[in-house]
Chain A
Amino acid sequence: MSSSAVLRFEQLVLSRGKKRVAGPLDLSLQAGERGLVTGPNGSGKTTLVLAVAGLIAPGGGKLSTPKRIGLAPQEPEFPLHQSCSFYFRQLLALGSTPASEQAGALKRSLELFQLQEFADRPIGELSRGWRQRLNLARAWLGEPQLLVLDEPQTALDPSGMDSLTNALDALAKSAVLIVAPEGVGCCDLAPLVLDLKSGVPDLNAKAGAQL
């Protein structure tokens, strides 16, 4: 495993309470690499996301993550009464983006997912699909070192999927971990597949589901 890995699992065991959910898992992602984690329902995909985000402690093994992580959860929550731009400015102020770069970072993340025209509208007015774009834009905000996308294709129309593909292609400095159930069309987004059933990354895997 490379020492310059942005994200690294070594014999990672995921558990909820006393119940082992998945593992041991091994994976290493460097800057610019993408990994796809698949598995059936209940195989521990969301638990893995929570562990990578630091919300739950791993049940065992080693988990190494960078400081700046962007996460697009499967079921995003937003302050529905706030405008997208006000909310994003708050998030940027919360993070480590210098004040002089915040306006540019806000603009870039909104543009990536064609959200400019919704910038000043309350989030509550956005449809499910546009909220998913906002969810992705939020993960991109502040140029994180690691992006964790939990079922990012959910509710996206073809234009939204194009935006997601383009945004992923534009990333050079960040690693991306995509989590999706088996058979869902995310496989073209990331070549490196970790099946939670086997726990071993398959560098050549490219499962058959289509986008």
Chain B
Amino acid sequence: MINLALGFARELLGRWGLWVLLGGIFTASQVSFDTTLGDANIGPYLAYVSLWPIALLFRCGWLMQKRRAEGWPLEERLRDPRGYRAPLAEFLALLLLMIGGLLLAGLAVLVPGVQSPTGGASLFPVSLQNSADGGWEFDLGGQVPDGGQMLLTLDWSQIDPPQQALAIRNAEGAEVLATAGEILRWPLQKEEAESGKVQLFAPAGTKLRLFRPLVRLEVPQPGGSDLWLLLLRQTLFFLPLMAILLALARFGQVRASLAAWAVFFFGSLAAYHPPTRLGDAGLGWLAKVFLLLKHSLPNVEGLISNGYRFERYSGTTSTGALVVWLAVGVLALLLACKRRAAR
């Protein structure tokens, strides 16, 4: 099995694959972390690095198509009557190359001259859904990663008699002491972070007002030490996609290069974060279908979040969603190993 996987990996890499990978990672690390060329942020680096599994996906589709023309299906049927060795070897080869590429991507940041990024924080707008006397309801635009907090600037001028501090609480009774003249930092509770909805209350009758344009969500940026975890999440995102490609091409008997495009589209849909207020109204039927498909998938945006301001959704994937996503991959791999009866 391992020899078969290594042979497939060798074909996947081809003559130039390793050099393309090394050159790509070197360029990506320079472009992303260089203070002149990039913004010393992991997000763009993750975006560049994610091109490797995507390239593997398309290369695998092309190679499977080529192998079909080289008589491999006949040999597989003759030599592997149960039909599991070749798909497992292909999956293993993809896994090895993907992990190898991402390991190189992790090591590239350690090269002298590449500045390992340090964690900071980014601010994101928040919409105020409802405001009543002494109460505010905020929509944060979806799930928030751990460590997120809301920044509220309060207007104390209407309070009579003047006070220096007031307790702000939420519906569950958690409270934070707001001090006059200072920004209130509201650390998101678990439920608030998961739902992306926050409801806060000022003490009754205090006439404490909110500067609405100044409400912000602060999300910590993962630092250089988090890179390995982020790369692992990318691997977990792409593994089921690889299995789906094998299932489509083998069990579904779809042309493998076409299957690679289908999987790319499926993966893009899984990674896409639709605008928060994208309701049904005014959408064409195709957009509605896409939205329906998107919402039927587990929320795995947190695994593949990359690019500028990637920290907003990074790591927001729940354990349940991750398990479902991986289960889809396992199911696809089982299907890929299931040989169709001759007709």
Residues of A within 8 A of B (CB): 53-57, 67-71, 73, 76-80, 86, 89-91, 93-96, 99, 138, 142, 144
Residues of B within 8 A of A (CB): 1, 3-4, 7, 66-67, 69-71, 74-81, 85-86, 89, 341-343
A86-B7 contact given A70-B78, A79-B67, CB 8 Å threshold: yes
A-B pair number, CB within 8 angstroms: 65
Complex A-B: 19 CB contacts under 8 Å? A53-B74, A53-B77, A53-B78, A54-B81, A55-B342, A76-B71, A78-B71, A79-B70, A86-B7, A90-B4, A90-B7, A91-B75, A93-B3, A94-B75, A95-B79, A95-B80, A99-B3, A138-B75, A142-B79
B342's partner among A57, A79, A91 (CB-CB below 8 A) is: A57
Q: Are A96 and B70 in contact (CB under 8 A)?
A: no
A71's partner among B7, B66, B78 (CB-CB below 8 A) is: B78
Q: Are A56 and B78 in contact (CB under 8 A)?
A: no
Instruction: Tell me the dominant secondary structure on chain B's binding face.
Output: helix
A77-B81 contact given A89-B7, A90-B4, A93-B7, CB 8 Å threshold: no
Determine the residue in chain B with the shortest Cβ distance to A142.
B79
Give, as a whole number of angstroms, the nearest-CB distance from B339 to chain A. 9
Instruction: Tell me the dominant secondary structure on chain A's binding face.
Output: loop
Q: How far apart are the CA atoms of A54 and B256 in the complex, in Å?
A: 22
Q: How far apart are the CA atoms of A156 and B326 in the complex, in Å?
A: 52
Q: How far apart are the CA atoms of A90 and B7 in the complex, in Å?
A: 7
B79's partner among A56, A76, A79, A96 (CB-CB below 8 A) is: A96
Q: Are A93 and B81 in contact (CB under 8 A)?
A: no
Chain B residues with CB under 8 Å of A57's CB are 341-343
Q: How far apart are the CA atoms of A71 and B70 in the complex, in Å?
A: 15
Q: Are B71 and A77 in contact (CB under 8 A)?
A: yes
Q: Are B1 and A93 in contact (CB under 8 A)?
A: yes
Q: Which one of A69, A77, A138 has the highest number of Cβ atoms from chain B below 10 Å of its Cβ?
A: A77
Q: Are A56 and B3 in contact (CB under 8 A)?
A: no
Q: How far apart are the CA atoms of A24 and B85 in the complex, in Å?
A: 35
Q: Are A94 and B76 in contact (CB under 8 A)?
A: yes
- Given contacts A68-B79, A80-B70, A86-B7, list 20 more A-B pairs with CB under 8 A: A56-B342, A56-B343, A57-B343, A69-B78, A70-B78, A77-B69, A77-B71, A78-B70, A78-B71, A79-B67, A89-B7, A90-B3, A90-B4, A91-B79, A93-B4, A93-B7, A93-B89, A94-B89, A138-B75, A142-B79
Give, as a whole number of angstroms, the nearest-CB distance from B82 to chain A. 9
Q: How far apart are the CA atoms of A206 and B334 in the complex, in Å?
A: 49
